[in-house]
Amino acid sequence: MLATDSRTIYDVDLEIFRDQVRKFLDRAHTPNLDRWEQEGIVDREFWRAAGEAGLLCPTVAEAYGGLGLDFRYNAVIDEELYYAGSPTHLCLQSDIIVDYIERYGSEDQKHKWLPRMISGETVAAIAMTEPGAGSDLQGVRTTARREGGNYIINGAKTYISNGQNADLVIVVAKTDPDAGSRGISLILVEATREGFTRGRNLDKIGQNGADTSELFFQDLCVPAANLLGEEGKGFGYLMAQLPQERLSIAVMAQASAQRAFDEAVKFTKERKAFGQTVFDFQNTRFTLAGLKAKMQAGWAHLDWAMARHLQGKLTAAEASAAKLFHTELQWEVCDAALQLHGGAGYMNEYPIARLWRDARVQRIYGGTSEIMKEVVARSI
């Protein structure tokens, strides 16, 4: 169980909420992990159950069916999900996508989609990455051409989380191909639209239970009312939302690192070699001690970053530094924990194997570690 007694960001109400999250995960999540891993997707029943339990989009205003809570509630869900080894993309929906609609959407868009996202009836995705455009979003080639009262969308996206499950996709497209970043817009696309097709559920190294897809748009027609916010403002919207997205990934990474550390402690104290437990070897104790010191610093930093975010003060550079630090720490801890398992760590029956595989992408999506360093360097 994730220890929270030394945390500074949470109060009694949040710990009560955390207990509810744990009970839900024990009932509806953990028993299904192996099945989701094999099937390559989280079933829709889980999404609806999460909605019924109040675990989707808790920050949405009450006017749109939400609870009107602050980001700490998202963080509690993120921590418990990733400590439990979750492959779900609930955090993507709650921490990232829903904010685009609530912040930039029209009243019609908000009233139509937010209640459905909260209930789990609608699963959403955001389609940024393309075969030829990753971290450099100005390089997207998907176009949305205005024709009268409609947009005609053509293009392809890849590595899209929730792509197989998605009912609604926020598509990053060029409405003016000659205007650079000022020509990028965000457009809502329903998965039922003619011209929308899903490619394969991509075969990944890790996070196998989370669907990740190719998406294709061929002469897809949507009404101009599906434009999210203003035309040409999409790049600015994306940049404005990055701090919370990167903080969210940092939260996930820290919780996953803690689970890996706890698995290593448990295994080494139980496993015997040469007449003593593996934990009794000085190398093991020193390795774990070094990791524990870094984890202690990590939790303190995470609470600081969340406090900054709640005050509206977390900068893009600070959020990028948080993602960089916590995802790199996650990888260090997961790799060391696997090593301490010895040959058992290479066996899928042990949780550390999945934690290690799933950790690798954290240093890539949401902006690679190299891009994070570039963002931080620009602030110096």
Q: Which of 186, 99, 202 is nearest to 142 (CA)?
A: 186
Decide: residue 27, CB within 10 A, 0-12 exposed, 13-18 middle, 19+ buried: exposed
Where residue 216 falls (left for φ over 0; alpha for ψ -120 to 50; beta otherwise) is beta
Rounded to whole angstroms, the Cα distance separating 142 from 133 reads: 10
Rounded to whole angstroms, the Cα distance separating 287 from 179 reads: 52
Token reading at 67: 């609870």
H or E stretch at 320: helix 316-341
According to DSSP, the residues that pair with 157 across neighbouring strands are: 215
Q: Which residue in the list 37, 80, 245, 318 is annotated as catalytic?
A: 245
What is the DSSP secondary structure assignment for residue 94, as one 8-state letter? I
| Known active-site residue 130 | no
H or E stretch at 362: none
Longest dimension (CA), the chain: 79
Rounded to whole angstroms, the Cα distance separating 185 from 236 reads: 9
What is the DSSP secondary structure assignment for residue 184, as one 8-state letter? E
Task: Output the CA torsion sign for 86, 90, 91, 92.
Answer: positive
Q: Show which residues are catalytic.
A: 245
